[in-house]
């Protein structure tokens, strides 16, 4: 396109419109977040604009037991959940990347079948219930241990590695597990990073599974508290001794701060997300 020069008036007018229009769209996409970040530091909750800077909203958020705890919960759920994902997904992807392995076709068939067919909310719930995992974080980790989509992306990556590395290791007496851990993992860091990001964002943002499987408020992730505080307006500040403190902080700033806290990890890793996810989105759509 860049080579084609077209200097008609209509063409130039369109360019101007297009640049302005896309710029506005782009701003509309980031404005709410920027506003909320500013608002969380504003003493008035942005009413009358940003007048003065203050940490009070955050000081309050982390002084309440419920919110501080749920932030820690979210971090633990994300870190451990991603570790479970990586264990299950990378082992599966590596073994299934060996095209010569008898039985591989059947297993890939199973994977594809359950990509298209989900037993549904109630059967999944009854399963978790019958395993005694309700109210345990295992219910947030094990039922989603393998995402077929991520596993296929990783399998395709392993298939692209040269066979020669592994063959020489085999001659040296390494078994497949040793080859995987000592040779394949170290040379596949980029692939692992991508999949770790995929899973971690999923766990951090996950809201409904926690609502479904976790009744104990002490174990809730921050996404569930977010709804309690903002959508249901039930407060969520269970410790009464803090209410006097709450009266001094503008309520809006606190709400903004809760949104910021529950988005912060995403914003921090966003530059990496953009790079890897765009690639992943295409891989997934091309390979199916």
Partner 1 sequence: MAKAQTYKKMSFGRALVRYKWLYIMLIPMLAFYLIFKFYPATYLIIAFQDYWPTTGIAGSEWVGWANFQKIFKGTATFSFWQLFSNTLILAIYNLLFYFPIPIILALLLNEVRHLGYKKIVQSFVYLPHFLSWSVIIGLVYVFLGSNGYVNKLLTQAGRANIAPLMDPNWFRPLIVMEVIWKEAGWGTIIYLAALSGVDEQLYEAAVVDGANRWKQLLHITFPAIRGTIITLFILRMGTFMDTGFEQIFLMSNTKNRSLSQVFDTYIYDQGIKKAHYSFSTALGIFKSVISLILVITTNKIANWVGEEGVY
248-277 residues in contact with partner 1 (CB under 8 A) are 251-252, 255-256, 258-259, 262-263, 266, 270, 273-274, 277
- 69, 77, 104, 127 from 64: Cα distances, Å: 8, 20, 52, 35
Tokens of 152: 């296929």
Question: Could you give the 3-state DSSP secondary structure of residue 101?
Answer: coil
| Residue 101 or 190 having the CB closest to partner 1 | 101
In terms of Cβ atoms closer than 10 Å to its own Cβ (0-12, 13-18, 19+), residue 28 is: exposed
| Residue 114 or 241 having the CB closest to partner 1 | 114
50 forms part of the interface with partner 1 (CB under 8 A) = no
| Residue 234 or 241 having the CB closest to partner 1 | 234
19 forms part of the interface with partner 1 (CB under 8 A) = yes
Closest CA to 55 of 43, 67, 71, 69: 43
Q: Which residues contact 185 (CB under 8 A, 6 or more apart)?
A: 90, 192
105 forms part of the interface with partner 1 (CB under 8 A) = no
With CB under 8 A as the contact rule, which of the stretches 30-38, 61-69, 153-161, 239-247 interacts with partner 1? 30-38
| Residue 171 or 231 having the CB closest to partner 1 | 231
| Residue 3 or 247 having the CB closest to partner 1 | 3
Of the candidate residues 7, 9, 10, 240, the single one contacting partner 1 (CB under 8 A): 10
Output the smallest distance, CB 55 to partner 1, in A: 19
Show contacts with partner 1 in window 156-215 (CB under 8 A).
Answer: 175-177, 180, 201, 204-208, 212
Beta carbons of 264 and 74 less than 8 angstroms apart: no
Show contacts with partner 1 in window 59-98 (CB under 8 A).
Answer: 87-88, 91-92, 94-96, 98
Of the candidate residues 21, 53, 62, 272, the single one contacting partner 1 (CB under 8 A): 21
In angstroms, the CA 137 to CA 148 distance is 21
Of the candidate residues 23, 109, 160, 235, the single one contacting partner 1 (CB under 8 A): 23
Helices (H), the chain: 9-40, 56-63, 65-96, 104-116, 121-130, 138-141, 148-159, 163-171, 176-179, 185-187, 189-205, 208-213, 222-226, 243-248, 251-261, 264-287
Tokens of 7: 């200097």
In angstroms, the CA 52 to CA 37 distance is 14
Output the smallest distance, CB 277 to partner 1, in A: 8
Of the candidate residues 1, 16, 171, 247, the single one contacting partner 1 (CB under 8 A): 1
| Residue 76 or 267 having the CB closest to partner 1 | 267
Show contacts with partner 1 in window 122-151 (CB under 8 A).
Answer: 122-127, 129-131, 142-143, 145-146
Q: Which residues contact 211 (CB under 8 A, 6 or more apart)?
A: 224
């Amino acid at each position: 396109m860049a080579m084609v020069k077209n200097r008609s008036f209509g063409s130039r007018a369109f360019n101007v419109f297009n640049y302005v229009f896309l710029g506005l769209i782009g701003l509309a996409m980031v404005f709410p977040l920027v506003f909320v970040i500013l608002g969380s530091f504003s003493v008035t909750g942005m009413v009358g604009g940003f007048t003065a800077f203050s940490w009070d909203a955050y000081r309050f958020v982390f002084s309440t037991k419920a919110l501080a705890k749920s932030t820690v919960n979210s971090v633990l759920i994300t870190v451990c959940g991603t570790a479970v994902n990586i264990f299950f997904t990378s082992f599966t992807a590596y073994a299934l990347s060996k095209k010569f392995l008898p039985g591989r076709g059947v297993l890939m068939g199973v994977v594809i079948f359950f990509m298209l067919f989900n037993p549904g909310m109630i059967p999944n719930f009854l399963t978790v219930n019958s395993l005694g995992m309700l109210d345990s974080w295992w219910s947030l980790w094990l039922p989603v241990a393998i995402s077929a989509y991520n596993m296929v992306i990783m399998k395709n990556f392993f298939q692209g590695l040269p066979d020669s590395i592994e063959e020489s290791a085999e001659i040296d007496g390494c078994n497949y597990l040793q080859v995987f851990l000592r040779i394949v993992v170290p040379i596949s860091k980029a692939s692992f990073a991508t999949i770790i990001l995929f899973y971690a964002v999923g766990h951090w943002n996950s809201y409904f599974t926690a609502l479904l499987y976790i009744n104990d408020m002490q174990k809730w992730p921050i996404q569930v508290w977010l709804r309690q505080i903002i959508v249901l307006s039930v407060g969520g500040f269970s410790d009464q001794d803090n209410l006097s403190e709450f009266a001094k902080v503008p309520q809006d700033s606190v709400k903004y701060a809760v949104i910021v806290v529950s988005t912060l990890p995403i914003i921090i890793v966003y530059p990496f997300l953009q790079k890897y996810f765009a690639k992943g989105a295409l891989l997934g759509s091309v390979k199916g």
